[in-house]
Chain A
Amino acid sequence: MRVLVLAEHDNKALKPATLNTMAAAQAIGGEIDLLVAGQGCDGVAQAASKIAGVKKVLMAADPAYAHPLAEDLAKLILTLAKGYSHLLAPATTFGKNVMPRIAALLDVAQISDISAVVAPDTFRRPIYAGNAISTVQSSDAIKVVTVRATAFPAAPASGGNAVVEKIAAPGASGLARYVGSELAASARPELTAARVVISGGRGMQSSENFKLLESLADKLGAAVGASRAAVDAGFVPNDFQVGQTGKIVAPELYIAVGISGAIQHLAGMKDSKVIVAINKDEEAPIFQIADYGLVGDLFQIVPALDKALAKPGGN
């Protein structure tokens, strides 16, 4: 078996989900190569070569890969695919965009968003917003897989000593062109990588009130998220959304503020280690899965919590 992992990066650094995808690759077994496709991505390739368990880093540096366009990346990966039994990428918007294109070009099924490796050809994956878990078996010669990062530990970023091999790029497809991006600049950690996540729902009532959560987040080194209801109400941008159709998170601590707990939201956070719910409705479904619940007005509880955390104490 040979596994090729598609690294996600921004030409400066590897995205953490790449390490979780490595762990899934190790669970499959066999030799693991990592593909870094980008422009001016030598530093990323060097970092990738240090990841424990990587045999070889393939680096394709070309202006076509300055931004990850599915059309061009699929063209590149197609030139490599035949040498591998498995192609893996994180189930992020990056991996979700690119991998099905490759699968179709190889005429194989894709196994999306796996949460466990049962055998090299058998995987577990959540369906119906995580309300059911399906075990699927693939008989295709090449298995194209995207990996739910929160379901696998991160492979150690050091300890490896892989060779970096430069590979030729087949050139751009000319089908799509990157125009620009607006990335949220935040000093807070990224939602999917944060140790603590604080999310607000419809109960926050306004965009302005999210400042309450930001203050709390800064004290806890947390990322701020939101339910779909809060996004739909325009309180926060869509990339804050935690849930079935947004981001999947599994932090050490998840604090749900003014979130009732629709199944679509629970799908995105129920694997968190500790869940705290703050809601004025004691019947809210979120309390059924919360380890600690506080029933009451969030506009009193959140400032009080903020104040209590400002005091030193415990460990």
Chain B
Amino acid sequence: MKVLVAVKRVIDFNVKVRVKPDGTGVETSNVKMSMNPFDEIAVEAAVRLKEAGKVTEIVAVSMGNQSCQETIRTALAMGADRGLHVLTDIELQPLAVAKLLQAIVAKEQPLLAILGKQAIDDDCNQTGQMLAALLGWAQATFASKLVLGDGSADVTREIDGGLETVAVKLPAVVTTDLRLNEPRYASLPNIMKAKKKTIEQTTPETLGVDAAPRLKILKVEEPQKRQGGRKLASVEELVDKLRNEARVI
């Protein structure tokens, strides 16, 4: 069985993002980029299924400019078998990504697509659900446990207030939540091996997908700053302030 994983290149989660002075977006030049953390969990989930003998091939897909190849190499070093890069310079929004993935699924015919639940740049949390919709597949979002069965999968989902388990028919889309696994670091030998794995390149035009953005970004601003920093000397002073100044208790 073949698994597709989608990996996005984003500003590293440790970087403090800066809004561009002209309000068109955030500064991305000379900023450390990494694989979206939830996508690392997706790759790890696929690799573990392969190690367990349930999966035969893992295809890692990324979309964007030439630098996305680095992100695909990371997935290959973690254990994905081959890469697919959709080369484009246009801003890809979730619906376009879902359509591109749909076209790739039509070609690759995987039984499972594993995606991160959310990218930490646009915080949209849409692509997996959209892909499932376009394919007419079941979706199991925010997965914290994934058990592959024969023709179906039992997925435990993180929901508000606890956990929910659903049984989804395969093929299906699974999106990952934090507790699904702890992604491995790629070992040096595996990083070397990954250099020999193939990354096939394609474009939205070749895939026949109109990937133009639907939402117009009018401006990007800094959020309002909070005035904090006041330190108190004792618990008594805190209780007094909460009762008589802030009046919240």
Residues of chain A touching chain B, judged by Cβ–Cβ distance below 8 Å, are 67, 69-71, 74, 92-94, 96-105, 107-113, 122, 126-140, 173-184, 190, 192, 196, 220, 228, 231-232, 237-239, 241, 244-245, 247, 252-253, 263-264, 270, 273-276, 282, 287-295, 301, 304-305, 308-309, 313-315
B146-174 contact mask (Cβ, 8 Å, vs A): 1 or 0: 00000000100111111111111100100
Q: Which of B207-222 contact A (CB under 8 A)?
A: 214-222
Q: Is B95 an interface residue when CB atoms closer than 8 A count as contact?
A: yes
**Is the interface on chain B under 10, 10 to 19, 20 to 34, or 35 or more residues?**
35 or more
User: In the complex, what residues of B have CB within 8 A of residue A180's CB?
Assistant: 164-165
28 contacts between A and B (CB under 8 A): A96-B129, A99-B129, A104-B98, A110-B95, A111-B215, A113-B125, A135-B221, A136-B215, A138-B215, A138-B216, A175-B168, A179-B167, A181-B162, A183-B162, A184-B161, A184-B162, A238-B179, A239-B158, A245-B120, A264-B13, A273-B246, A276-B242, A287-B228, A290-B230, A292-B231, A292-B246, A305-B239, A314-B239
User: In the complex, what residues of A have CB within 8 A of residue B168's CB?
Assistant: 175-177
User: In the complex, what residues of B have CB within 8 A of residue A314's CB?
Assistant: 239-240, 243-244, 249
**5 closest Cβ pairs, A-B complex:** A314-B243, A100-B129, A104-B130, A109-B214, A104-B133
Q: Say yes or no: B166 contacts A69, CB within 8 Å.
A: yes
Q: Say yes or no: B249 contacts A109, CB within 8 Å.
A: no
Q: Say yes or no: B138 contacts A71, CB within 8 Å.
A: yes
Q: How far is the CB of B123 from chain A (nearest CB, A)?
A: 6
Q: How far is the CB of A252 from chain B (nearest CB, A)?
A: 5
Which residue on A lies nearest to B229, using beta carbons?
A288
Which residue on B lies nearest to A266, using beta carbons?
B226
Q: Is B124 an interface residue when CB atoms closer than 8 A count as contact?
A: yes
Q: Say yes or no: B126 contacts A177, CB within 8 Å.
A: no
User: In the complex, what residues of A have CB within 8 A of residue B11's CB?
Assistant: 128
Whole-angstrom distance between the alpha carbons of A293 and B238 in the complex? 8
Which residue on A lies nearest to B179, using beta carbons?
A238
B27-62 contact mask (Cβ, 8 Å, vs A): 1 or 0: 000000000001000000000000000000000000
Q: Say yes or no: B232 contacts A292, CB within 8 Å.
A: yes
Q: Which of B180-235 contact A (CB under 8 A)?
A: 214-223, 226, 228-232, 234-235
User: In the complex, what residues of A have CB within 8 A of residue B236's CB?
Assistant: 308
CB contact under 8 A between A196 and B98, given known A70-B141, A239-B158: no
Whole-angstrom distance between the alpha carbons of A111 and B17 in the complex? 22
CB contact under 8 A between A135 and B218, given known A238-B158, A239-B161: yes
User: In the complex, what residues of B have CB within 8 A of residue A196's CB?
Assistant: 248-249
CB contact under 8 A between A293 and B230, given known A70-B139, A101-B130: yes
Main secondary structure of the interface of A (DSSP, over half): mixed
Whole-angstrom distance between the alpha carbons of A137 and B213 in the complex? 11
Q: Say yes or no: B129 contacts A70, CB within 8 Å.
A: yes
Q: Is B178 an interface residue when CB atoms closer than 8 A count as contact?
A: yes
Which residue on A lies nearest to B169, using beta carbons?
A175
User: In the complex, what residues of B have CB within 8 A of residue A102's CB?
Assistant: 133
Q: How far is the CB of B63 from chain A (nearest CB, A)?
A: 17
Q: How far is the CB of B168 from chain A (nearest CB, A)?
A: 5
Whole-angstrom distance between the alpha carbons of A239 and B238 in the complex? 29
CB contact under 8 A between A308 and B218, given known A181-B162, A184-B162: no
Q: How far is the CB of A94 from chain B (nearest CB, A)?
A: 7
Q: Say yes or no: B178 contacts A308, CB within 8 Å.
A: no
Q: Say yes or no: B244 contacts A175, CB within 8 Å.
A: no
Q: How far is the CB of B121 from chain A (nearest CB, A)?
A: 6
